[in-house]
Chain A
Amino acid sequence: MAALTLKGDTVATIRGIRVPEVALADILGLESAVAKEDRNLVVLRPAGGDVYALGVDKIHDHEELVVKPAAPQVMATGLYAGTTLADDGSPILLFDPSGLAEVGGVKLEAHDRTARVAEGPATNVAKAVSVILFRGLDGARRALRLAVVDRIEEVPAKAIKPGAGQLRVQLGEAILPLAGVNSELGKEKVRIFRLNDGAHEIGYAFSEVIDLATIDNAIIPAENPAEISGVTLIGGEPAELVDAHWLFAHHLGSAAGGAADQPLCRLPSGDPWMQNMLRPIVEAVGYRVVGDEHEGAADLVITSEPRKAGKGAKTIILRSDPEASGDNDDSIYRYDRAGLLMALKSAGGKR
């Protein structure tokens, strides 16, 4: 990122676009303990205005806040949009991006609505697909569509472990399938893209982000559908395009499909054997398990008492005796795993 200083005003170049840069400390008339080169830049686009970069000492966190208007004496500065309270009860001032720009001397109106592009063709910018260009764990240049990347997380390598048939990563309270591990994970921290398809999340390990880019060149498709859907030139060098659909299809497996389309299975809530032994099998096949108290219709009812067989719904009757009691007995011995799975699958399939 190059900076050009003109009569005290600074212009920063971020991803090929020149943006005016102002230091928050200067606007506030405060001394900054952080050298100008070491400050973080926050790129802001005030409503209806042009982008500019705000130099700040440190970025702590992002949070959703309930903002209340500040007193007129505070609003009169033109810098603030309101106040809120932090978790510890101390007040936080909320800045107004356009106010900061105005007080900081950034001329929002003087710039073009579309920021000046310094390099590369400016045509079709609106149609271009934004991708995040990164280096995979194996060092290859790859790109992922920006829209599927929810956020970037950094996890200790020990948070990544094989579990239930594939590599998984623990992110806070969630355990996600992990893709992109094509090389050694290293000992310390691993960076992960958190990908989101709207219903499910998976992780994708990588080594570093190179840049944000757009796909301007033709995509040469891969011969076989796999993790890489094709290659294209990004920034003058070939980059592999990661197929997010394949990632989800491959790593999510049977867990895909929202809770709404899962068939319902009613199990007696008071039966410990049903709840502790049977329930995991039923859920693994893809059913959502409800108890006796569930009001609506279930797609499948499993019971040990033939009298309680549901009306209309398919019913599996389990018996504790390995031998059938007679020719008319269509119940299944409860440790006949193969028979049970067959019944579960056929009941789910013929809905």
Chain B
Amino acid sequence: MNELLLIVTIASQRVALPAAAIESVVELDTLIAVPRAAPHVAGLSALRSRVLTVIDCMRSLELGTSDTSDGIREAAVVELDGHHYALIVDIVEDVVEALSEPSPVRAAMGDGWERVSKGMVETEVGPLLLVDVEALVSGAVARAA
């Protein structure tokens, strides 16, 4: 069976996240700021008595800041090294099947996308960029270090 992909929109761009890495999709209501943390750490939230570290994907990609003023944010929850993260995205769309193996993207995408890219995958809704969750979570700063 082919890999399942979660289609999300980040910075108005439709991309795919590996569905196996996603624990759940939630709507965050609380967001506690973490002063002096890396810019892509939007804050902390909680889900079922677990602390979630909230990652702003737009800031992680250095494409601006997600609008978090309306109070409710859609986010994909992932677990990495025992810590839970909520990735703030614009919209969570659908789960689709990958119709091909990821192939290298030869077009210029910009630094942010370049860094998190795992290649292009074909799906029934067209080609999508497969995003590396770990690279999103670690952000631009960690890579420079």
Contact surface of A with B, Cβ cutoff 8 Å: 27-30, 68-74, 76-77, 79-80, 83-85, 89-93, 103
- Contact in complex: B51, A83 (CB < 8 Å): yes
Contact of A74 with B53 in the complex, beta carbons under 8 Å: yes
Chain B residues whose C-beta falls within 8 Å of the C-beta of A79 in the assembled complex: 35-36
Closest chain A CB from B55 CB (angstroms): 8
What residue in chain A is nearest B55 (Cβ atoms)?
A: A73
Do B137 and A73 have beta carbons less than 8 Å apart?
yes
Q: Say whether B34 faces chain A, with CB atoms less than 8 Å apart.
A: yes
Q: Is B36 within 8 A of A91, CB to CB?
A: no
- Using CB atoms, name the residue of chain B closest to A73: B41
Check A85/B51 contact, CB under 8 A, given A71-B83, A72-B83, A90-B30: yes
In the complex, which of the residues B30, B44, B52 contacts A93, with contact meaning CB atoms closer than 8 Å?
Answer: B44
Knowing A71-B83, A72-B83, A83-B44 touch, does A29 contact B35 (C-beta < 8 A)?
yes
Q: Are A91 and B44 also in contact (CB < 8 A) when A71-B85, A73-B139, A85-B51 are?
A: yes
Q: Does B45 reach chain A (CB closer than 8 Å)? A: yes
Least CB distance, A100 to chain B, in whole angstroms: 10
Does B35 lie within 8 Å of A91, measured CB to CB? no
Interface centre among A27, A28, A74, A92 (most CB of B within 10 A): A74
Question: Could you say which of B30, B44, B45 has the most chain A C-beta atoms within 10 Å of its C-beta?
Answer: B44
Q: Is the CB of A74 within 8 A of B34?
A: yes
Nearest Cβ on chain B to A255's Cβ, whole angstroms: 41
Residue of B37, B40, B41, B51 ringed by the most chain A CB atoms within 10 A: B51
Contacting pair B32 A93 (CB below 8 A): yes
16 A-B pairs (CB sep. < 8 Å): A27-B36, A70-B44, A70-B53, A71-B83, A72-B81, A73-B55, A73-B138, A73-B139, A74-B37, A77-B34, A77-B36, A80-B34, A85-B51, A91-B44, A91-B46, A91-B51
Which of A73, A80, A90 is in CB contact (< 8 Å) with B38? A73
Nearest CB on A from B80, distance (A): 8
Q: Does B12 contact A (CB under 8 A)?
A: no
Closest 8 CB pairs of A and B: A28-B35, A71-B53, A91-B44, A71-B83, A83-B51, A77-B36, A91-B51, A73-B41
Residues of B whose CB lies within 8 Å of any CB of A are: 30, 32, 34-38, 40-41, 44-46, 49, 51-53, 55, 81, 83, 85, 137-139, 142
Query: Is A73 a contact of B36 with CB atoms below 8 Å?
Result: no
B84 to chain A, nearest CB (A): 8
Give the chain B neighbours of A84 by CB distance below 8 A.
51
New A-B contacts (10) at CB < 8 Å, excluding given A76-B38, A85-B49 = A28-B36, A29-B36, A73-B41, A73-B55, A73-B138, A74-B37, A83-B44, A83-B51, A84-B51, A91-B30
Q: Are A74 and B41 in contact (CB under 8 A)?
A: yes
The CA of A79 and the CA of B33, in the complex, are separated in Å by: 13
Task: Give the docked Cα–Cα distance between A224 and B31 (Å).
Answer: 64
Q: Nearest residue in A to B38 (C-beta to C-beta)?
A: A73
Shortest distance from the beta carbon of A35 to any chain B beta carbon, whole Å? 20
> Are B49 and A89 closer than 8 Å at their CB atoms?
yes
* Residues on B with beta carbons closer than 8 Å to the beta carbon of A27: 36
CB-nearest residue of chain B to A91: B44
- Cross-chain contact B137 with A91 (CB below 8 angstroms): no
Partner of B37, one of A76, A90, A91: A76
Instruction: Provide the residues of chain B in CB contact with A72, threshold 8 Å.
Output: 81, 83
Residues of B within 8 A of A91 (CB): 30, 32, 44-46, 51-52
Interchain CB contact (< 8 A) of A90 among B41, B46, B85:
B46
Which A residues are in CB contact (< 8 Å) with B45? 91
Which chain B residues lie closer than 8 Å to A90 at the CB level?
30, 32, 46
Q: Which residues of chain A come closer than 8 Å to B139, judged between CB atoms?
A: 73
Q: A103's closest neighbor in chain B, by CB?
A: B36
* Residue on B nearest A30 in the bound complex, by CB: B35
Q: How far is the CA of A29 from the CA of B35 in the complex (A)?
A: 7
Bound complex: CA A77 to CA B141 (Å):
12
Q: CA of A90 to CA of B30 in the docked complex: distance in angstroms?
A: 7
Chain B residue, CB-CB nearest to A80: B34
Query: Would you give the shortest CB distance from B8 to chain A, in whole angstroms?
Result: 20
Task: Report the minimal beta-carbon distance from A102 to chain B, rounded to whole angstroms.
Answer: 12
Contact B34 A89 (CB under 8 A): no
Q: How far is the CA of A76 from the CA of B44 in the complex (A)?
A: 15
Collect the chain B residues with CB atoms within 8 Å of residue A71's CB.
41, 53, 83, 85
Please, which residue of chain A has its CB at the minimum distance from the CB of B82? A69
CA–CA, A85 and B45, complex, Å: 10
